[in-house]
Structure 1
């Protein structure tokens, strides 16, 4: 079961159970997107918003980020995962908490990646 977590300096925590088929990459991207959407919902303007992630791939997310950046100065910072960076450690803790949750709705919660479909088909006996 995959999970995602977002931790904000204001001590707001977001935790998501993403079901059995989500990959770590999908969980990281989902957390990144949830962070962006939460900021868009608050509708800040003329602010500096720094989003830290231990996933370089997640930092490549564009469209929602561009929407947020259209009204704010946004700084993306890559940090080394599991290196004791406090906010990242909190996000990891929340992700583990999310793994104990049951997702709401039918599986798969997120799309099943092509590579997972292929590897599953290869393991299936004829």
Structure 2
């Protein structure tokens, strides 16, 4: 007479649980049933393997028996039959199976889930019950949880660094209306790579204006070449340079604007048209070796 063991794992909003039921006499006699909880960080894959492990541990006193362990987790069977596996959860389960199999005729079989077989449904019930159990079994922290924790921590630290030390120009522009500005770019300029590049340059301040070029040691002056007496920042170029007052009035309907006024109230496509008209941010291929703009 064989002993059958049905195992299952579950992951819900309440937690992660595992359960199993052991029967004999063609499932007419229940030998034992149990459910337990795993740490919330664990995966349903770990829960499936944990159910098999705990069932094996409970059956270690059996000898010279024919034992069949049923699981509806194909991934668990595949992991247990893979030669190279670095998972501690898989290794622990495999050790328990080998220990039980040393003194018994042991089989591990797959069974389809929710086919109406009452013992299989009972294992599912027990696993779900385990998600709220007070009995918590320690298990290794999955690598996916570690990776997510690291990624979230990096994002947090990056945001903190940006808030404290990020580029002043970009924060000034994007601080209040980042969604609006970026959406305008995406919806209007996505099919025009040159204009898209110009928009990003103006927003970040990393562009061919003398202030940035001087900081990059690619210019010997920070002064505006158009008016000759102010640092050529994006703010000066777009909203304040007296040499482009008439052009600014034509596109922006104002002659003097702050950087926030421009990006808050003027569509990005209009800003690009103004920039292109000044010919100040031309690509290198549009300028000859003397630095003179080709007409």
Class of the TM-score when normalised by the shorter of the 2 chains:
0.7 to 0.9
Equivalents in 2 of 1:84, 1:121: separation in Å? 42
Return closer, same or farther for 1:53/1:104 CA change in 2, 3 Å cut-off: closer
Matches within 5 A, 1:57-68: 57-59=75-77, 60=80, 61-68=93-100
Aligned to 2:151: 122
Query: 50-59 vs 89-98, which deviates more?
Result: 50-59
Q: 2:133 aligns with which of 101, 113, 121?
A: 101
**Larger strand proportion, structure 1 or 2?**
1
* Counterpart mapping for 1:1-126 below 5 A: 1-9=15-23, 10=30, 12-40=32-60, 43-59=61-77, 60=80, 61-104=93-136, 109-124=138-153, 125-126=156-157
Deviations 1:9-34 (A, max 9, x none): 21521110112111111111111000
Q: Given that residues 18 and 47 in structure 2 are in contact (C-alpha distance below 8 angstroms), is that contact kept between their aligned partners in structure 1?
A: yes
After superposition, the C-alpha distances for 1:31-76 in whole angstroms (9 at most, x for unaligned) are 1000001110xx2222100100011243324322122111111121
Find the aligned partners of 1:7 and 1:67 in 2 and give their Cα distance.
Answer: 20
* Number of equivalent positions: 121
| Alpha-carbon separation, structure 2, partners of 1:74 and 1:7 | 16
TM-score where L is the length of structure 1: 0.83
Using structure 2 for the length normalisation, give the TM-score: 0.38
Alpha-carbon deviations, 1:75-121, whole Å to 9, x = none?
Answer: 2110122333322211110011111223458xxx3221111211233
Kindly tell me: are residues 45 and 103 of structure 1, through their superposed partners in 2, closer, same or farther at Cα, counting changes over 3 Å?
closer
Structure 1 residues not aligned, in runs of 5+: none
Of structures 1 and 2, the one with the larger relative CO (CA 8 A, separation 6+) is 1
User: Which one has the bigger helix percentage?
Assistant: 2
Larger Rg: 2
User: 2: CA distance between counterparts of 1:65 and 1:111?
Assistant: 18
Contact 2:66 2:104 in 1 (8 A): yes
Query: Any runs of at least 4 consecutive aligned residues in structure 1 with deviations exceeding 4 A, and if so which?
Result: none
